[in-house]
């Protein structure tokens, strides 16, 4: 079990830690190979060499058992011993060596020591085939384990594969190919069709279509317009594009996500930590019990036979090896992290997989979480019979062109030819709107307070409008108004339904937007309770109040910027659209890369599936071992039953953990 010992032992974590930079260099070197040879053959040879010692030992063991069965004349005495010793060494020597290395470091009671004592003891009492078989199955178990870990790392390797190897940068009036790590912020980079975006940036071309599957788990191409963000690792699908870099290579979203996924394996759950501590106490107790089982019966049994009781003690040692627990539990959590990553959900550690299963209350922000955070014109109402809608909008757009407010941007999306309308002498009235002149005509654009302060009569119907409203006055006469609203995300209703179906008892919405809008959105979505007009510190107080309630576990979902304080303090902080938010990556415990609120329920389901499999493995390991331990101590179990109780159970637990990689969680 050497591989997982290196992977999960916290004392050696730094030494064995997956080095993303080195792996990326290896990946880069592989891409640069251009020697005309197919390197898959070399990889096959390496894989075959990995299994060769076990294959050799298996063949030798089968031949030896066959010669024993047919009572071959020459297969006696020292020839038989040498034969089984040769069969034992390829699989036994690495384990004995590892056990010796552990002893030199002061770590005496390891699974390596248990297996070494048990198998060498079997040779000492003449049970040669059983000694070889135990070590052989142990080696096979390690190979299965290695394959399982390799499968669980598939998501991380997929991310490594999308790390770009070169960037075409515009320097000295020409595009030159350079290492992405040498590209500075603000440089112009060209990306051809089928190539990966080398660094985070903004799109300079009119539009682009990108495959972001490796980053978000979504196979649907993402269409980006000029000026919008693009992320390193996305694949350009349509035409040659240009981007302007906004981050260095080491700070790009893909690099930070890789680092986060890597570090997630080091943040263990309470169950995982308990089992490792338990194994360190449990193993020495088992060794001393085995010694007692060998010698204590001498004082109580009339027909005491040393070899018989030693055999029982060796069986006891093999059965009690904690491999199934030490392997399958970390592997279960590792599988859960990998499965979540494939679905566009990043957990910052196994502990948060556990925490997601305990959540009872979901609190969510509105803007950017369940809504798109992009304002759109909802209605245009003209109150002046002498004006058409297009004419009023020309006056309004001429004024709003001078503003950078998000609502102004939404108004400028309106399709109308207004080039002949020019605004001059535009001044901002703090908290109310804009005042200026358009083509010699006085125009006011803003809220009701602006109209009232200029003695302009506003229709009473506007008092009942919930959405943001922009009123227009032309030559001191109320001309009409435009309502602006934020759109719900496509899966917002589905998200609430699925969160309820996952067993969450309370769903709450807290927003900085005005309370009337928040209440309208909350009612439309069917959340239990909502409150608007909140500053970040107000949201924090509300969440802390919820967390103070007995047995209430709170998950907060926000956009990761102004919600950072609440994300940090909640039991589970979930950031939406974390791919583009530095604050989200730093603060949240879980990141929904696809910006889809429906993934929240999927994160809960993945956490529950992981926990269920981990506890299945714990029950399987303890149950089978307890039964066979009793049988072994009573002389009713042989070394073969011991092999099943140890290696067999470990293999079953590994196969159970691997199921996480194949599970489907309906959106």
Task: Identify the domain boundary among 195, 223, 256.
Answer: 256
Is-catalytic flag, 29? Answer: no
For residues 381 and 462, what is the distance between their CA atoms, to the nearest angstrom? 10
Answer with the residue of higher pLDDT: 120 or 283.
Answer: 120
Whole-model pTM: value is: 0.66
Considering the domain architecture, whether residues 498 and 587 belong to the same structural domain is answered as: yes
Number of structural domains the chain divides into:
3
Question: Range of 212's domain?
Answer: 167-256
Q: Residue 510: is it exposed, middle or buried by C-beta count within 10 angstroms (0-12/13-18/19+)?
A: buried
Whether residue 208 is contained in a domain is answered as: yes
| pLDDT score for 133 | 85
Location of structure tokens 């302060």 = 453
Model pLDDT for residues 493-502, shown as the tens digit of each residue: 999 999 999 9
* Beta-bridge partner residues of 444: 435, 473
Model pLDDT for residues 76-102, shown as the tens digit of each residue: 999 999 999 999 999 999 989 988 998
Chain-centre distance for alpha carbon 330 = 15
Question: Residue 498: which CATH number?
Answer: 3.40.50.1000
3-state secondary structure of 267: coil
| pLDDT score for 311 | 85
Contact 188, 170 (CB under 8 A): yes
Considering the domain architecture, whether residues 533 and 475 belong to the same structural domain is answered as: no
Whether residue 305 is contained in a domain is answered as: no
Considering the domain architecture, whether residues 495 and 475 belong to the same structural domain is answered as: no
- Distances from the Cα of 471 to the Cαs of 273, 434, 455, in angstroms? 61, 10, 14
For residues 360 and 552, what is the distance between their CA atoms, to the nearest angstrom? 6
| pLDDT score for 218 | 57
What average pLDDT does the structure give for the chain?
80
Considering the domain architecture, whether residues 471 and 385 belong to the same structural domain is answered as: yes
Model pLDDT for residues 629-645, shown as the tens digit of each residue: 788 778 788 777 777 77
Task: Identify the domain boundary among 240, 256, 272.
Answer: 256
Considering the domain architecture, whether residues 583 and 557 belong to the same structural domain is answered as: yes
Whether the pLDDT of residue 469 is over 70: the answer is yes
| pLDDT score for 163 | 62
Contact 224, 208 (CB under 8 A): yes
Question: Residue 240: which CATH number?
Answer: 2.70.150.10
164 Ramachandran zone, left/alpha/beta (phi>0; psi -120 to 50): beta
Considering the domain architecture, whether residues 479 and 377 belong to the same structural domain is answered as: yes
- CB under 8 Å to 19, separation ≥6 — which residues? none
Answer with the residue of higher pLDDT: 110 or 568.
Answer: 568
Considering the domain architecture, whether residues 482 and 419 belong to the same structural domain is answered as: yes
Whether residue 55 is contained in a domain is answered as: no
| pLDDT score for 667 | 55
Task: Identify the domain boundary among 590, 606, 622.
Answer: 606
Whether the pLDDT of residue 246 is over 50: the answer is yes
Considering the domain architecture, whether residues 502 and 530 belong to the same structural domain is answered as: yes
Whether residue 200 is contained in a domain is answered as: yes
Whether the pLDDT of residue 525 is over 80: the answer is yes
| pLDDT score for 441 | 93
Considering the domain architecture, whether residues 479 and 513 belong to the same structural domain is answered as: no
Whether residue 277 is contained in a domain is answered as: no
Considering the domain architecture, whether residues 516 and 545 belong to the same structural domain is answered as: yes
Whether residue 171 is contained in a domain is answered as: yes
| pLDDT score for 645 | 76
Contact 154, 661 (CB under 8 A): yes
Whether residue 302 is contained in a domain is answered as: no
Considering the domain architecture, whether residues 362 and 384 belong to the same structural domain is answered as: no
Whether residue 282 is contained in a domain is answered as: no
Gap between the terminal Cα atoms of the chain: 37
Q: Which of 200, 222, 354, 365 is catalytic?
A: 365
Question: Residue 398: which CATH number?
Answer: 3.40.1110.10
Considering the domain architecture, whether residues 579 and 600 belong to the same structural domain is answered as: yes
Banded model confidence at residue 27, pLDDT cuts 50, 70, 90: very low
Whether the pLDDT of residue 242 is over 70: the answer is yes
Please name which of 113, 147, 263 lies closest in space to residue 585, comparing C-alpha atoms.
Answer: 263
């Amino acid at each position: 079990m050497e591989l997982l010992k290196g992977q999960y032992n916290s004392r050696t974590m730094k030494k064995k830690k997956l080095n993303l930079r080195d792996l990326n260099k290896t990946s880069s070197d592989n891409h640069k190979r251009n020697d005309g040879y197919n390197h898959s053959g070399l990889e096959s040879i390496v894989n075959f060499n990995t299994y060769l010692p076990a294959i050799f030992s298996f063949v030798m063991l089968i031949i030896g058992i066959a010669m024993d069965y047919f009572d071959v004349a020459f297969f006696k005495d020292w020839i038989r011993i040498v034969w089984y010793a040769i069969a034992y060494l390829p699989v036994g020597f690495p384990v004995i060596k590892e056990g010796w290395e552990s002893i030199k470091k002061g770590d005496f009671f390891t699974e390596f020591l248990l297996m070494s004592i048990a198998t060498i003891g079997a040779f000492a009492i003449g049970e040669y085939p059983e000694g070889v078989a135990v070590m052989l199955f142990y080696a096979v178990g390690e190979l299965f384990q290695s394959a399982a870990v390799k499968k669980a790392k598939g998501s991380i390797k997929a991310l490594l594969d999308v790390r770009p190897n070169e960037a075409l940068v515009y320097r000295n009036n020409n595009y030159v190919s350079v290492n992405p790590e040498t590209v500075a912020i603000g440089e112009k980079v060209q990306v051809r069709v089928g190539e990966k975006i080398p660094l985070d940036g903004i799109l300079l071309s009119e539009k682009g279509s990108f495959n972001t599957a490796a980053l978000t788990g979504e196979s649907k191409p993402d269409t980006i317009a000029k000026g919008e963000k693009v992320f390193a690792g996305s694949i350009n699908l349509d035409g040659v594009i240009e981007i302007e870099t906004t981050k260095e290579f080491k700070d790009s979203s893909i690099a930070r996500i890789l680092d986060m996924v890597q570090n997630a394996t080091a943040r263990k759950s309470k169950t995982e930590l308990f089992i490792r501590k338990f194994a360190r106490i449990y193993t020495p107790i088992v060794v001393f019990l085995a010694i007692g089982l060998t010698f204590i019966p001498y004082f109580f049994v009339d027909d005491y036979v040393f070899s018989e009781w030693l055999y029982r003690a060796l069986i006891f040692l093999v059965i009690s090896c904690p491999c199934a627990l030490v392997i399958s539990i970390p592997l279960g959590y590792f599988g859960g992290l990998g499965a979540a990553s494939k679905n566009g959900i990043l957990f910052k550690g196994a502990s948060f997989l556990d925490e997601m299963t305990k959540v009872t209350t979901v609190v969510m922000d509105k803007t950017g979480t369940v809504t798109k955070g992009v304002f759109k014109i909802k209605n245009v109402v003209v109150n002046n019979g002498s004006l058409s809608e297009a004419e009023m909008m020309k006056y309004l757009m001429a004024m709003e062109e001078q503003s950078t407010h998000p609502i102004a941007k939404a108004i400028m999306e309106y399709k109308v030819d207004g080039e002949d309308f020019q605004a001059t002498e535009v001044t901002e009235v703090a908290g109310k709107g804009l005042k200026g002149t358009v083509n010699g005509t006085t125009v006011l654009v803003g809220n009701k307070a602006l109209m009232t302060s200029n003695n302009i009569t506003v229709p009473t119907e506007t008092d009942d409008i919930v959405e943001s409203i922009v009123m227009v006055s032309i030559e001191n006469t109320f001309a009409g108004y435009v309502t602006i609203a934020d759109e719900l995300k496509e899966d917002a209703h589905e998200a609430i339904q699925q969160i309820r179906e996952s067993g969450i008892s309370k769903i709450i919405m807290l927003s900085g937007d005005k309370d009337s809008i928040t209440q309208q959105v909350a009612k439309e979505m069917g959340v239990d309770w909502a409150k608007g007009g909140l500053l970040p510190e107000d949201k924090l107080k509300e969440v802390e109040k919820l967390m103070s309630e007995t047995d209430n576990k709170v998950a907060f979902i926000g956009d990761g910027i102004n919600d950072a304080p609440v994300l940090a303090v909640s039991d589970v902080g979930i950031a939406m659209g974390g791919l583009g938010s530095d604050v989200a990556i730093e603060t949240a415990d879980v990141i929904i890369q696809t910006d889809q609120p429906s993934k929240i329920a999927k994160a809960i389901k993945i956490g529950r599936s992981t926990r269920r499999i981990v506890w299945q493995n714990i029950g399987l390991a303890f149950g089978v071992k307890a039964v066979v331990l009793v049988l072994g101590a009573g002389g009713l179990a042989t070394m073969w039953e011991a092999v099943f109780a140890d290696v067999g159970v470990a293999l079953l637990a590994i196969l159970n953990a691997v199921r996480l990689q194949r599970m489907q969680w309906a959106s």
